[in-house]
Amino acid sequence: MRPLYDAVHWYMAEVGAHVVAKTGIPSDRHHIGKLILHSLQDDPDFVFQIDGATGESETNISAAFRSIQCAVSLTKMGLKKGDVMVLMGPNHIHFSVPHNAALFLGIMMAPVDVSLVVNELKQIFETNRPKIIFCQNEKAKEIEKALNLAEVVAKIVTFNESSDYTTLAQVLEDADDEEVANFKPTDFDPAETVAYLPSTSGTTGIPKTAMLTHKNLNILVPYMWSSCTQFPTPIRMMFVTSPPQWLSAGFHYVFSAILKYTRLQTSAELTPDHFAELVNKYKPSCLMTSPTMVQTMIAKAKCDFTCFEFIAMGGSAVPYDLVEKTKKIANTEKVIILYGITELSGLVVQHEYPAAPGSFGKPVGCVDVKIVDPETHEEILEPNVPGEIWFRGPNVFKGYYNKPEATKETMTEDGWFKTGDIFYRDESWNLFFVDRYKSLLKYKSHQVSPVEVEEVIMKHPGVMLVVVTGIPDRECGDLVVACVVPKPGCNPTAQEIEDLVKESLSDSKQLRGGVIFMKELPTTSTSKINRRALKEIVANLPRE
């Protein structure tokens, strides 16, 4: 068993000490903006980021200079600590400029999905009430309409050229040279100052944004690197496949500078062909993405996965068979399952090697954790008994922005965050995911975990992807139905899949709702399966 290391925490303490030595403010060791700026200036020629779609790259010193220019201009516009900035754009090299500037100044940054339509944007703007929005020119008119409907006044700045709006290039040109040369980030308390306002609404419920402070992120995110011993540069290059509004992309927008690794991203749609092109050209050494993305790319992308020394999958249930398959294809034992929650500032588990089969890992060292009965909220003290998992610690968010009632629903008075996820643990506190509490199906008096049924169906050699959901039935509750995407060139039958489930699972988990074959499954912009949309589709489709 390979142990976990604390090298990353020693390194973060060293970077923090350098910053505190400059400023004389002890809490600056958690000021993400100051940590980023120090790190960028400390190694000016290091390649900070690459846009694989255009071939553009940028060094640390260029990123630092442009970010400072942006911060100076934002200050001239009247933006200040506590204001909200919305960022909407693809993973191009300009996205990080206002992103870093916001962290320098204590501006709350809300990354927003570029695919949202006017009505959805109106809801978000009503909650977040931004003062400034950075976006692509092609989206600006929709954003302006949504702002008017929400009765919110915000300045629109486009990343690309525009004849109707101020551009990022113009914002940077407006920065005074002397102010740029003498720039210092804003002083503030990192424990109270919000850095990120990521969306947590997912595919259901009212849109919400979680308030994550500088200290929340600075304490928790380094645990992602607890299997590494070399700092800086624990890896050579991270391939960022998540869109910028997903927190898993935000981790790398923040920590690639501090830990000093190159961030490979793309402003184009990440098709299997484009994925293969970037892997073959740049040979990235690390990949953190969704299981859906891995399944798709293994099946369709023509590239050599052995360049990846480390692959992590999360965001939805990860079949154990997929982990083992990925290990073989990438020729590495470092293939793990991630478990993180936006409200907890990201990943709350870490892995020893080899990991316990099927386990999501053990809780990170900075959190308290307990498993409770989801109905009574009494703690379950025995191992191997499923229950809702709760967390408490310095990583727990400050609440939902402008939604105190929603905060009360998910937080106990003594600081426990109720995840809504069902887990069990073994004697060594390895955590095993069962399902989302709200995703459990009910057939008569039995609870059915879609994940359990999906894991069985994934064993069929002709199945590439599967999602199990339910069809409402007056007498029985939910009829279990499987939505299957076959592998290219394969033609599994409904009978084969139904027989596989019948051989493996009890009567209550049988596919009484049938099997639906689909070319693709509906996903959110963050590559998660959109189960709500799928449920609506299934209700109106013929089943075999």
Domain spans in the chain, listed from the N-terminal domain onward? 7-232, 280-436, 446-538
Among 200, 244, 205, 213, which Cα is nearest to 97's? 244
In one letter, which amino acid is 489? G
| CATH number for the domain running over 7-232 | 3.40.50.12780
| Per-residue pLDDT at 202 exceeds 50 | no
Question: Residue 103: which region, alpha, beta or left (left: phi > 0; alpha: psi -120 to 50)?
Answer: alpha
Closest CA to 480 of 451, 520, 503, 508: 508
Of these ranges, 346-350, 425-429, 502-506, the one predicted with the greatest mean pLDDT is 425-429
User: pLDDT value at position 542?
Assistant: 65
| Interior angle at CA 513, CA 509 and CA 516, nearest 5 | 115
Amino acid identity, position 437: Y
pLDDT for 246 equals 87
How far apart CA 124 and CA 102 sit, in angstroms, is 19
Q: What type of residue sits at position 273?
A: D
pLDDT for the residue 338: 85
Task: Find out whether 498 and 504 touch, Cβ atoms under 8 Å.
Answer: no
The C-alpha angle with vertex 537 and arms to 536 and 541, in degrees rounded to 5, equals 125
Q: Which homologous superfamily is 446-538 in?
A: ANL, C-terminal domain (3.30.300.30)
Cα separations (Å) of 486 from 157, 457, 497, 515?
Answer: 44, 11, 11, 12
CB atoms within 10 A of CB 142: 16
The whole-angstrom separation of Cα 283 and Cα 235 is: 12
| Amino acid (one-letter) located at 403 | K
Alpha helix (H) residue ranges in 355-512? 404-410, 450-457, 494-504
Whether 543 has a pLDDT exceeding 60, the answer reads no
At 112 the pLDDT is 93
pLDDT greater than 60 at residue 525 = no
With a cut of 90, say whether residue 480 has pLDDT above it: yes
Other Cβ atoms closer than 10 A to 263: 24
Token readout for 503 is: 């051989």
Q: Which of 157, 191, 152, 193 is nearest to 172 (CA)?
A: 157
Residue 101: both structure tokens together: 């500037």
- Give me the sign of the Cα torsion angle 62, 269, 278, 259: positive
Taking the C-alpha atoms of residue 233 and residue 142, their distance in angstroms, rounded to an integer, is 41
**280-436 sits in which CATH class?**
alpha beta
What the block records as the tokens of 476 is 């029985």
Q: What is the pLDDT of residues 269-288, one digit of tens each?
A: 999 999 999 999 999 999 99
pLDDT in the model for residue 6:
92
| Closest residue by Cα to residue 236 from 6, 87, 47, 102 | 47
The residue whose two tokens read 């990521």 is 198
pLDDT at position 204, please? 37
Per-residue buried b or exposed e for 456-490, using 16+ beta carbons within 10 Å of the residue's own CB: bbbebeebbbbbbbbbeeeebbbbbbbbbbbbeee
Full-prediction pTM beyond 0.75?
yes
* Cα–Cα distance measured from residue 301 to residue 294, given in angstroms and rounded to the nearest whole number: 10
Task: Provide the terminal-to-terminal Cα distance of the chain, rounded to the nearest Å.
Answer: 46
Q: Angle CA(422)–CA(427)–CA(433) in degrees, nearest 5?
A: 20
Tokens for 352, please give them.
């020893």
Residue whose structure tokens are 């009430």: 129
DSSP 24-93: --GGGGG-HHHHHHHHHHHSTTSEEEEETTTTEEEEHHHHHHHHHHHHHHHHHTT--TT-EEEE---S-T
N residues, the chain = 544
**Tens of pLDDT along 79-117?**
999 999 999 999 999 999 999 999 999 999 999 989 888
pLDDT of the residue at 1: 54
Mean pLDDT, the chain, rounded, equals 92
Give tens-digit pLDDT for 294-334: 988 998 999 999 999 999 988 777 878 889 999 999 999 88
Extended beta strands in 338-440, E state: 340-341, 346-347, 349-350, 362-363, 368-372, 387-392, 417-425, 431-436
**DSSP 3-state assignment of 281?**
helix
Burial pattern 323-352, b for ≥16 Cβ within 10 A else e, equals: bebbbebbebebbbbbbbbbbbbbbbbbbb
pLDDT at 201: 52
* pLDDT, average across residues 210-238: 95
Give percent of the chain with pLDDT exceeding 90.
Answer: 74
In 10 A of CB 502, how many CB atoms?
A: 14
Q: Band of the pLDDT at 526, cuts 50, 70, 90?
A: low
- Burial of 21 by CB count in 10 Å (0-12 exposed, 13-18 middle, 19+ buried)? exposed
Q: How far apart are CA 34 and CA 31, in angstroms?
A: 6
What's the rounded Cα separation, in Å, for the pair 374 and 114?
36
59: three-class secondary structure by DSSP: strand
Return the SS3 of 429: coil
What mean pLDDT comes out for the span 462-488? 90
Report yes or no: 291 and 529 within 8 Å, Cβ to Cβ: no
446-538 and 7-232 share a CATH fold: no
Nearest in space to 35 (alpha carbons), one of 169, 175, 201, 219 = 219
Cα(88)–Cα(240) distance, integer angstroms: 17
CB 195 within 8 A of CB 219: no
- Residue carrying the six token digits 């899949």: 497
Sequence-ordered list of residues with C-beta below 8 angstroms from that of 177, at least 6 positions apart, any chain: none
Nearest residue to 452 via CA among 470, 468, 428: 468
